[in-house]
Structure 1
Amino acid sequence: MRRKRRKVRWGRLLLLLLIMAGMVWGVVRGAAYAVQSFTPPAPPPKIVKPVSPYADKAGKRITLLLIGVDDSTNQSSVAKGQADALMLLSINPEDNSVNLLSIPRDTMVTLPGRQGVERLGQAYVYGGAELTMRTIEHALQVPIAYHAALSCQDFAQLVDLIGGVEIYVDQNMNYEDAYSDLKIHLNRGYQHLDGLQAGQYVKYRSDEMGDIGRMQRQQIFMKALAEQVFQLEIVTRLPDLWNHAGEYLKTDLTPSVAFKLLTALRSDSLSKMRVELLPGQAVSLEGQWYWKADEEHARQVVNELFYANNGK
């Protein structure tokens, strides 16, 4: 007896094929999603900083520009105001030698892209840290790799963060300026300064030395601050302090470079640190006072601080 052929139900077959195709498509899509999810993202494009034309001559030295920004408007911001304090910190990681050069804010310079002479402090007003770095590089022919800027209010908070600084105040300091809400009252003698008092100490200039005396005290304070940071109880807190410092400090320092700087400063280099003021004299031009660098003497000092004994 002949067996009956079963009738192909094309509707069911088509439905089955569609279901199978959907399953295959789902597997493929799922695999693609899994690969996409677990594949590490492409690294962000590397930001390449412009190379200074003086970099080769500097060897392996690392030069950092420290900028104190005037915030007399009582706004804690490094984005406003002019540069009130300028220092070049140079460290040779090969022998851990450390040098510091103070540059008067009223130094007579020519700003890139502008005509005529200006005070160096104005560079920060026109172009922030970048223009300030370029101006100093051009004027002194020194490669500056990094910068760190903070306002006076941020400076005070940063000093409080490390617990204040022990320092000898060389004279009684009393001065008030209602316009900028500045009040300075410090007694002569060895004492522990908190952030507010430290700000008064580094800003005081109401004596016969004026700005020169103020810059000398800023240099003394920087050294005392560094010594305070590397006391044992502070060293153990450095990672946490570095994280908090980011709230106050505007810098392009990378953690690896910061570690190199800290390593150098933790040696006995602080006791041997050479501190200089940009050689020059005060001059008057069209009713305005400037600090005019002594080119020959300044070149000698710059060579000794930033180019001598450089490893290649």
Structure 2
Amino acid sequence: MSPSDHGSLPPRQHSQRKGSEPAKGAPVRQGKKKKKAGPVKRFFRVVLILIVILVIGAGGYAAYLAYNVNQTINQAGTDKPVAAGQEANVKPLTMLLLGTDYRPETGTHLSDVIMVIAMNPKTKSATVVSLPRDTRFSMDGYKTNKINAFYPNFLAAEKKTGNSAEEEMKTMMGKFFDLDIDYVTVLNFQGFRDVVDALKGVDVNVDKDMCYRDKADGTDINLKKGQQHLDGKQALDFVRYRKSNCSPRTDASDDFDRNRRQNEVLHALIDQAKSLNGVLGAGKAIESVGDNMTTDLEQGQIKNMIAAYWNISKENVHFMPITGDWKSPYVYLHDDELEAAKQALKDELAGKTVQTSQDAQDGPSATHSGN
């Protein structure tokens, strides 16, 4: 079910971490070593582990390691061993992918991109479920709030609880989707911009004129409708755009438009990485991330994922954006879509045919099956 006219959504709320100074009571995350990783667009690292996994072409695994990215991987993942039987090239895995709004200009950590990914090495396929950032999240044990506010709240509580924000998010989303989530990866907006620039930009069809300016955080969105080659800053503007304050005003967007644009940019990133040469493109994407990504993937598991998914087709990556109804200040999810998404994730892990709403529009050739 696709949303009808949801209207423009209100301005974002600000998290408790503003500018370069952490909010009162918020933890200073300097002593904690950041861990980095890969991408597949809107996928594994919102542009990181997804690109590595979905982009590398034939012979890519050996060439990739030969390209000296082995060292980069060792710096990106944790140094823990992968548990026996849990290797990505043997066992289907799940990952929570968060894209936060952090940039040097803002210092905030709202999770504007929230995706749960299930991937199966047998079928060489993946299912990606995304939630609107303004989703009303209400579940036993958690105070009702917009879903994008939980990560910064968990960050602020780390010192007091002793639990990492990433682990808290993984536990919460696992309960929500009724499945175990194996890993969590957080990529911020700065990392997104850097990845796009490292791949020399992306080609997308901008669906409308977009103009918005905010001197407070340096936002200056000014895009024209039509086919465009966007750099990192412009690509971020394209996926973030919500409303206009310019003269003349441009048409507003909602969370569902934003999710659709995220998908478009992620697909474009895959195409761009391939055009640069899968191995080189994946290497550039990983090396561009730096401290802008955090993951609990083990070094060995990252290599297992590359080995398992180096030849995955983007046609076998199925996106399921869950929509809903906007009733200020929340988006209320459509229950039927949520249940279908939960089942699709479970079917992916079981190696069964996954059918998404987009697949239904495209026809039966768009499904994949492990049977």
TM-score by length of 1: 0.70
Contact 2:91 2:120 in 1 (8 A): yes
Distance 1:246 1:142, change over 3 A: farther
Bigger Cα Rg: 1
Counterpart of 1:91 in structure 2: which amino acid?
Answer: M
Residue of 88, 97, 100 corresponding to 1:66: 97
Partner of 1:245: 289
Distance 1:257 1:230, change over 3 A: farther
Distance 1:156 1:45, change over 3 A: closer
**Matching of residues 190-269 of structure 1 within 5 Å:** 190-206=227-243, 207-236=251-280, 238-239=282-283, 241-262=285-306, 266-267=310-311, 269=313
Instruction: Confirm whether residue 277 of structure 1 aligns to residue 295 of structure 2.
Output: no
CA displacement at 1:240 relative to structure 2: 6.0
Percent identical residues: 28
**Matching of residues 280-295 of structure 1 within 5 Å:** 280-284=324-328, 289-295=329-335
Partner-residue secondary structure (3-state), 2:242 = coil
The total of aligned residue pairs comes to 253
Contact 1:97 1:264 in 2 (8 A): no
Partner of 2:175: 138
Residue of 148, 152, 165 corresponding to 1:125: 152
Residue of 117, 135, 150 corresponding to 1:89: 117
Partner-residue secondary structure (3-state), 1:167 = strand
**Matching of residues 46-195 of structure 1 within 5 Å:** 60-71=91-102, 74-75=105-106, 80-110=108-138, 113-114=141-142, 116-127=143-154, 128-195=165-232
By relative contact order (CA 8 Å, sep 6+), the higher-ranking structure is 2
Partner of 1:17: none
Contact 1:68 1:149 in 2 (8 A): yes
In 1, distance between residues paired with 2:135 and 2:146? 5
Counterpart of 2:192 in structure 1: which amino acid?
Answer: F
In 1, distance between residues paired with 2:220 and 2:309? 33
CA displacement at 1:150 relative to structure 2: 2.2
Contact 1:73 1:180 in 2 (8 A): no
In 1, distance between residues paired with 2:242 and 2:342? 26
Contact 1:173 1:204 in 2 (8 A): yes
Counterpart of 1:218 in structure 2: which amino acid?
Answer: Q
CA displacement at 1:74 relative to structure 2: 0.9
TM-score by length of 2: 0.60
Partner-residue secondary structure (3-state), 2:277 = helix
In 2, distance between residues paired with 1:45 and 1:82? 28
CA displacement at 1:118 relative to structure 2: 1.0
In 1, distance between residues paired with 2:181 and 2:111? 16
